[in-house]
């Protein structure tokens, strides 16, 4: 079969009554759809799209909450040859830069969503002339159609836009041919079968959520159990509950999710969960940390997790999805290497081991060494090569270079961007076509892949990509005393998490008339507002002190190396984020609790406490749903009481929240029955606000 539509038709004809997808909400309610019904609804909706003058080759933005309606819409676009572009729903009152740039690049003819989201999306996009000009279509099933012509292998199945950048997002053109080949090899790699059960909370607009979380189930004819990523963030153990209840065999998530679940399951009193059915737990989409894998393996083993289930892998949109990972028979290896030499792209091995034989207590603190986790072998019928980033010459084993990938899973290139396509998707007469991933790594003597860094300084936080130049531009645009093009942003690993560091040059007038605290607040506030990132540290330095190449380009890797090796000599002013130091014993009055909440809110917004308007609703202050969950979880730890996830929505100002929580605290202390907070309808809040960062821990 040459297309995802042919597979859908075959499944519906061969097994019309077999369940294809199940969507489970926070209360445990399950909505299911069979292959037969899925085909019928796809045909009906495809006809509706045709009636709205959407034709073959037209691009459509898919702005959906998690649910089966997205799957129908995605397949309906494929049915008529339109090109779907899965995106997250913009948050209320948030910048629309990314969506505007994608719309300018792809020139879509419409936006497609659900009836319940149509009014919200229309209102949210009103400030943007380019987005508000697009018709917003709500999914309907009121039409009939004749049998379609099956898409040809070179037809574009969808555009996958690279996430996180406010600069110039690029749409990867994933053809039917590339998609089917990646699904085929991924099925073999992870041993999917009709008896498998995939459990996924990953966002549909993320390539791993779309291809591994949704389409692999259709390809392998195995049922898929889906949940909302917003529900995962507010109730992480729901993921484990679904695996337990429905005996899930396969799942996938970024590193932070396994760390979060390990934290939640470290309480040995939780006895109702089981990982015994799991056969593959794929880890990817962000840097993989050995400490997380070892900790999850140890804790999950007490809940029935078998050996060799965890499968770290490597992939990217420019390869359709999966490049490499581990089969059941391939052990996950790790290396301990010299940290300073690794920053210089040299592998100096100190120690090595196997994940299943490693205990958390034996791992060193990564002060002078770094641990590298193997990403397995390349998928079948494809090839990984390591090349010198400058010359393109092949590198020998154990030598770090640029990871390159070739094979039938290669997409066509970037939409409407031949220049960048030609520098990333290499098609030379002297070699087979391959992509330059922009990532650094090496192959060992067994052809096992290790990823060591990123050539292009890409910052990955909780699976979302951020270009440092975008963060830098936001920073130096905050104030005229901050030197234009005089910033360097990079990420470091701290306490098992990726944190963002910013070095910013001052102008000479800024040095003469300093107002460091004000500029610091401006930067923190704008970075949070524009990118949703909380900076770990800010350093102000004199002009012309950022390391640059001879051509004037900023050397972020050198700036990072200087930071890690304490080699920065002239730091004028520095800020490092400090967690609020409050405990339950510190809170003896409502006024003290109000001060504690004020501190937490100001910290999330990157503003001074004095600038906060106490009676202004949190959402108007700029607190997103993600931020509210971080505040909620921190307050739970401080007060040592359970707080429902919707509390900040129901008690939506600082005074209201402090009054409610202080009453709750006092009643808990005196052994009264705690106040039960009514659950609020989440439809009023953008699910994607919960997903913008995919935070590793709710109390980060």
pLDDT at 675: 29
**Would you state the pLDDT for residue 147?**
56
Helix (H, G, I), strand (E, B) or coil at 138: strand
Closest CA to 371 of 354, 385, 396: 354
Cβ-count burial 343-372 (b if 16+ within 10 Å, e if not): bebebeeeeebebbebebeebeebeebbbb
The three-class DSSP label of residue 142 is coil
CATH number, domain 1-21+34-154: 3.40.50.980
Helix (H) or strand (E) holding 540: strand 537-541
Please state the domain extents for the chain. 1-21+34-154, 458-576, 590-671
Q: Give pLDDT, residue 694.
A: 41
- Token reading at 320: 């359709």
Could you tell me the two tokens for 127?
């400030």
Task: Name the burial class of residue 446, with classes exposed (0-12), middle (13-18) and buried (19+) by CB atoms within 10 angstroms of its CB.
Answer: exposed
CB 343 within 8 A of CB 354: no
Averages of pLDDT over each 10 residues, the chain, 700 residues: 94 97 94 97 94 95 96 97 95 84 96 94 94 90 58 88 63 97 98 98 93 98 95 90 97 89 78 93 87 93 94 95 94 91 85 91 74 96 93 91 96 94 84 88 95 81 76 88 90 84 93 92 83 88 83 80 90 84 74 89 79 84 73 80 79 90 74 33 37 35
Of residues 20, 2, 23, the one with CA closest to residue 12? 20
Asked if residue 298 lies in contact with residue 270, where contact means CB atoms within 8 angstroms, the answer is no
Burial class (CB in 10 A: 0-12, 13-18, 19+), 558: middle
E strand map for 556-649 = 573-576
DSSP string covering 14-53, please? H-TTSEEEEEE-TT--EEEEEHHHHHHHHHHHHHHHHHTT
- Please state the φ and ψ torsions of residue 485, each to the nearest 5 degrees: 60, 30
Angle between helices 4-14 and 35-51 (to 10 degrees): 130
Within a 13 Å sphere around the CA of 219, how many CA atoms are in the beta-carbon half?
A: 24
CA 450 and chain centroid, separation: 21
Q: Closest Cα to residue 526, out of 495, 492, 487, 566?
A: 487
Strand-pair partners of 461: 464
DSSP 8-class letter at 357? G
Strand order in the sheet with 349-354: 349-354, 333-338, 369-373
Give me the pLDDT at residue 611, please: 81
Q: Where are the alpha helices (DSSP H) in 81-151?
A: 97-106, 115-124, 129-132
Strands 349-354 and 333-338: antiparallel
| Strand-pair category, 434-443 with 449-454 | antiparallel
C-alpha torsion angle, residues 540, 545, 546, 552 (rounded to 10):
140
> Domain 590-671's class?
mainly alpha
> Where do runs of H (alpha helix) occur along 385-480?
418-424, 468-476
CATH homologous superfamily of 458-576 equals ANL, C-terminal domain (3.30.300.30)
Strand order in the sheet with 136-138: 83-87, 59-63, 110-113, 136-138
Burial of 637 per CB tally in 10 Å (0-12, 13-18, 19+):
middle
């Amino acid at each position: 079969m040459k297309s995802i539509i042919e597979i859908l038709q075959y499944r519906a004809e061969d097994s019309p009554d077999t369940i294809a997808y199940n969507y489970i909400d926070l209360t445990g309610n399950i909505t299911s759809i069979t292959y037969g019904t899925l085909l019928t609804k796809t045909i009906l909706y495809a006809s509706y799209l045709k009636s709205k003058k959407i034709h073959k080759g037209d691009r459509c933005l898919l702005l959906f909450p998690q649910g089966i309606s997205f799957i129908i819409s995605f397949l309906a676009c494929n049915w008529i040859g339109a090109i779907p572009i899965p995106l997250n729903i913009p948050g209320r009152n948030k910048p629309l830069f990314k969506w505007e740039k994608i719309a300018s690049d792809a020139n879509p003819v419409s936006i497609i969503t659900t009836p319940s989201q149509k009014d919200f999306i229309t209102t949210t996009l009103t400030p943007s002339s380019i987005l508000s000009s697009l018709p917003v279509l709500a999914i309907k099933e009121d039409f009939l159609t004749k049998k379609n012509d099956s898409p040809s292998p070179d037809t574009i199945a969808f555009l996958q836009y690279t996430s996180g950048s406010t600069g110039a997002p690029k749409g990867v053109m994933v053809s039917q041919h590339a998609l089917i080949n990646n699904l085929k090899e991924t099925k073999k790699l992870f041993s999917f079968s009709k008896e498998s059960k995939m459990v996924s909370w990953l966002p549909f607009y993320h390539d791993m959520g779309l291809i591994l979380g949704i389409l692999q189930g259709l390809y392998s004819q195995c049922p898929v159990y889906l949940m909302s990523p917003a529900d995962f963030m507010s109730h992480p153990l729901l993921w484990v509950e679904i695996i337990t209840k429905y005996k899930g065999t396969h799942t996938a998530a970024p590193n932070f999710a396994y760390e979060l679940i390990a934290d939640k399951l470290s309480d040995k009193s939780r006895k109702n969960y089981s990982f015994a059915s799991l056969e593959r737990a794929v880890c990817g989409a962000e840097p993989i940390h050995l400490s997380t894998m070892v900790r999850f393996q140890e804790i999950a083993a007490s809940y029935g997790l078998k050996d060799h289930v965890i499968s770290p892998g490597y992939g990217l949109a420019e390869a359709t999805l999966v490049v490499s990972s581990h089969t059941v028979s391939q052990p996950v290896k790790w290396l301990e290497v010299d940290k300073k030499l690794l920053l210089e792209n040299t592998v100096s091995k100190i120690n090595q081991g196997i994940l299943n034989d490693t205990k958390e207590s034996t791992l060193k603190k990564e002060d002078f060494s770094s641990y590298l986790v193997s990403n397995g072998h390349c998928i079948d019928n494809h090839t990984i090569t390591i090349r010198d980033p400058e010359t393109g010459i092949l590198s020998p084993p154990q030598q770090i270079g640029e990871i390159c990938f070739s094979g039938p899973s290669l997409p066509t290139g970037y939409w409407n961007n031949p220049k960048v396509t030609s520098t990333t998707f290499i098609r030379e007469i002297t070699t087979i076509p391959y992509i330059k991933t922009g990532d650094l790594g090496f192959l060992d003597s067994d052809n096992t892949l290790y990823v060591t860094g990123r050539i292009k300084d890409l910052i990955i936080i909780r699976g979302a990509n951020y270009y440092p130049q975008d963060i830098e531009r936001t920073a130096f645009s905050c104030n005229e005393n901050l030197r234009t093009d005089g910033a360097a942003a990079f990420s470091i690993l701290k306490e098992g998490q990726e944190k963002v560091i910013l070095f910013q040059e001052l102008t000479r007038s800024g040095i003469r008339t300093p107002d460091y605290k004000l500029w610091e607040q401006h930067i923190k506030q704008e970075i949070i507002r524009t990118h949703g990132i909380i900076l770990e540290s800010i350093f102000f330095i004199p002009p012309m002190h950022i390391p640059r190449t001879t051509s004037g380009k900023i050397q972020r890797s050198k700036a990072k190396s200087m930071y890690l090796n304490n080699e920065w000599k002239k730091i004028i002013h520095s800020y490092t984020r400090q967690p609020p130091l409050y405990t339950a014993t510190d809170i003896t009055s409502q006024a003290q609790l109000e001060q504690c909440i004020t501190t937490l809110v100001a910290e999330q917004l990157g503003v001074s406490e004095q600038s906060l308007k106490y009676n202004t609703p949190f959402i108007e202050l700029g607190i997103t749903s993600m931020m509210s969950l971080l505040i909620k979880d921190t307050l739970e730890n401080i007060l040592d009481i359970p707080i429902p996830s919707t509390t900040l929505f129901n008690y939506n100002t600082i005074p209201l929240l402090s009054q409610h929580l202080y009453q709750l605290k006092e009643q808990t202390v005196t052994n009264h029955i705690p106040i039960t907070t009514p659950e609020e309808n989440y439809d009023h809040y953008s699910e994607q606000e919960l997903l913008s960062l995919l935070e590793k821990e709710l109390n980060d």
